[in-house]
Amino acid sequence: MDSSTRPLTVTPVPAFTDNYLWLISHEGDAVVVDPGDAAPIEAALAARGLALRAILLTHHHADHVGGVAALIDGRPDESLPVYGPRREDIAGVTHAVDGGDCFDLDAVAPGLGLRFDVLDVPGHTSGHIAYVARSADAADPPLLFCGDTLFAAGCGRLFEGTASQMHASLTRLAALPSATRVYCAHEYTLANLRFAHAVEPDNDALNTRLAEATATRERGEPTLPSTIALERATNPFLRADQSTVRQAAEHFRSGASASPVATFAALRSWKDDYR
C-alpha cells in the first residue's frame, strides 16, 4: 500500500501497570498524548519509523507528564510543541490552552490533517482538559483524548474538583457525537464494568459489554477505544438521570436520587470503596 493511502492510526502504548500512552500517526509523523514515560514512546517511534512532532497533555499527574522532559531533550523546543492546560503548572508546556481553543498541527505534521478542539473538563484535577480531534472528512468520527476524566464504563476520582464539576464535565463529553471514539488513559474497563453491573444488573447492553470485555482481556488485547454511544448506554456516571441508576444510588445513600449531581456524587463515593 502506498504511504499516501494509509489511514491515520491511533496506537495504545502500554506503560506502568495500566496506562495507555496514545500515539497518533500518519505518513511518518506522530503526536503523543500524555506521555508519562518516555522509554516506551521512544521504542514505539523507532519500531514504526515515526518522528515525534508534538505532545498533548491533559493534566499534571506524573503518569501523564513524566516523560515530557526526556522526549524534548535533544530536540529543538520550537520543533516540538507541547500543548497543555493553561490552568495547571506543567514543565515543558509551550502552548497553554483552555476550553474553547482549537488548533491544528499543519506546521509540524501536515499529514495528520486533524483539527484539535479543547474542552475544559475539571473534576479529576482542577484544570483538566480534553482534546477532540476532527479530520476534514465529515465521515470520519471524532477522536476524544480525555485523560482521566472519562474512562470506559467509569470516570476519574475527584482529587481536586467537585462532584458538580465532574458531572458537568461528563455531561459535556456525553454530548459529543455518538460515533466519537473514546481514548482514555487507563485499562480500568473490567473493574468499571463490574461496578456498573452492581448499579444496573439488568442493563442488557452493559451485560453484553462485560462479556465482550472479559473475552478481550483474556486475549491480552486493549478494551479501548470505546465510543460515546457505548458509554451513554453502559457507563453509570453518564446515566445519573436514569431511574435505574438513581434508585441504585438512593439505596446506597439516602437522598442520592434528589438530583443528577447528587446521584453522581453517591456513585463516585460508592465506586471509591467498591471491591
Q: Which of 26, 37, 120, 124 is catalytic?
A: 124
Q: Which of 29, 34, 37, 63 is catalytic?
A: 63
Let me know if 186 is a catalytic residue: yes
Let me know if 104 is a catalytic residue: no
Closest by Cα among 196, 273, 269 to 239: 196
Q: Which of 59, 60, 128, 197 is catalytic?
A: 59
Let me know if 140 is a catalytic residue: no
Residue 199 CB partners (closer than 8 Å, separation 6+): 236, 244, 245, 248, 249, 267, 270
| CA-to-CA separations, 39 to 42, 64, 138, in angstroms, rounded | 5, 13, 35
Let me know if 61 is a catalytic residue: yes
Let me know if 63 is a catalytic residue: yes
Q: Which of 26, 60, 64, 128 is catalytic?
A: 64
Contacts for 111-115: CB closer than 8 Å, 24+ residues apart: 111/26, 111/27, 111/28, 111/29, 112/8, 112/24, 112/26, 112/29, 112/31, 113/8, 113/26, 114/8, 114/24, 114/143
Let me know if 60 is a catalytic residue: no
Residues annotated as catalytic are 59, 61, 63-64, 124, 148, 186
